[in-house]
Structure 1
Amino acid sequence: MSISNIVNNEVDSIVRLGETIVKKASTARSSLEGSDLAEVTSWVTRVGQLILKLYGENSQHYKNYTNAIGIDNFYVIHSNWYGHVSQVHGVALTVKHDIENDLIANIKGLLQAEIFANFLEIGEHLLNEGYKDAAAVTIGAVLEDGLRELSKKNDIAVVKPNGAPKTIEPLNTELAQNEVYSKLVQKQVTSFAHIRNKAAHGQYDEYDVSQVQMMLLFVQGFSEQYLS
């Protein structure tokens, strides 16, 4: 799964949850409490994190978001008081619109080093929490998109003649052939790509935590050296 797909999945999840929350709020006779309120808090946090990563704190999107959550008694939510929640949902819908219409690239490219760093932090967090398989998939996505971005910078095609996107190994081979990096780096990329593929195909017993840790360190160094 690529970084773009990860972002798309998160946006879709946030929008679906927002629709549920707005519907629930519009029919609530009393203020949302307990698990319902916890769900709202998590949703609001996720929306804010996503906007910061994609647009930055000086963007109009983030200003609209902070204005919505900055009102007094934000977490008082019921059928007579939920317009502020609808505003947050509206911002999430705008992000979805931007991504679906390829407008996000004009705001802040998804393949910049800062975005790579954000997703590597997610991978590191997953690893530290004991989710080695999810970490391997996330870190592998950073590696694949990094190779694709590096290929673009060096005028190497990132799609096959039939229009299908090239996967890690073809990109890796051509980057090494064009001396963008050494044969040693090529072998390391191949090794860690195998771990990513095993994680993506549910072969969880064929690699261990230490290998994913080494993968994280490699991709961090690779990103700093070639993508900064």
Structure 2
Amino acid sequence: MAENFKRRFQELCQQADAIEASKRFERQPLEGHFIDQNQLINWSVKVRHLLSAVCGPESVHLKQFVACEKTSMYLTNHGIFLKLRAVLDAAKEDYEGGYLNSLKLLVQAEVFDSELEQASELLSSGYVPAAAVTAGVVLEAGLREMCVDNALPIGKLDKMNADLAKADVYNKLVQKQITALADIRNSAAHGHYDRFSETDVANMIKEVQRILANRTT
């Protein structure tokens, strides 16, 4: 997935170079350089899609790109294109520098922490099975994100766990720990409450937090 995004950035930058090379000078209706409007629309739609996928639908990059798409009586469509190209270049630089991924991890960490806090509250209130299931959901979501980050297929927890260990994202010991945590989650989800204790779930929440925290270090 990461290589696909990197290649797409390069392709769209090359297309931008071709559009820039095709500019022409006109005096009507506004004096300045112009480009083919259909080419601009085609290119901008593809860039917008990439920014949404890589940076996020609420990212500053996408919002700035959309803002720059607005027409102006003082700018030719080439002038608008130059502003759009600047946003693409900024996003490409941030992506290749790893800054977008770092921000994404921080946001995900906040979400996971919030969910694990909920699991802890459920445990404190005596809802042990619910706490185990909640922690298990967070664990599976974290593995899913790890697979996306490492261009691995998303599947069932056991398959993702095996693939991540095989790809050396983490070692065999962590793989075994995740398998044990998944067993607690499955037992809770299927009503086998005699197979785990309150202490097991408390440790599970701590272990899930530790495993996912390693993604941001």
TM-score (norm 1): 0.49
Alignment length, in residue pairs?
Answer: 118
What are the Cα deviations for residues 38-57 of structure 1, in whole angstroms up to 9, with x where unaligned? xxxxxxxxxxxxxxxxxxxx
Structure 1 residue 145 corresponds to structure 2 residue 141: yes
Report the Cα offset of residue 173 of structure 1.
0.2
Report the Cα offset of residue 107 of structure 1.
3.5
| Alpha-carbon distance in 2 for matches of 1:107, 1:197 | 35
Structure 1 residue 106 corresponds to structure 2 residue 57: yes
In structure 2, the partner of 1:216 is 205
Letter of the structure 1 residue corresponding to residue 142 of structure 2: G
In structure 2, the partner of 1:128 is 124
Structure 1 unaligned spans of 5+: 1-104, 159-165
What are the Cα deviations for residues 79-131 of structure 1, in whole angstroms up to 9, with x where unaligned? xxxxxxxxxxxxxxxxxxxxxxxxxx624889811111110000011111111
| Alpha-carbon distance in 2 for matches of 1:205, 1:132 | 12
Tell me the SS of whatever aligns to 1:157: coil
What are the Cα deviations for residues 140-165 of structure 1, in whole angstroms up to 9, with x where unaligned? 0000000000110011011xxxxxxx
Structure 1 residue 186 corresponds to structure 2 residue 175: yes
CA RMSD of aligned residues (A): 2.1
Q: Percent identity?
A: 44
Letter of the structure 2 residue corresponding to residue 131 of structure 1: Y
Q: Which has the higher contact order (CA 8 A, sep 6+)?
A: 1
| Alpha-carbon distance in 2 for matches of 1:227, 1:131 | 30
In structure 1, the partner of 2:163 is 174
TM-score (norm 2): 0.51
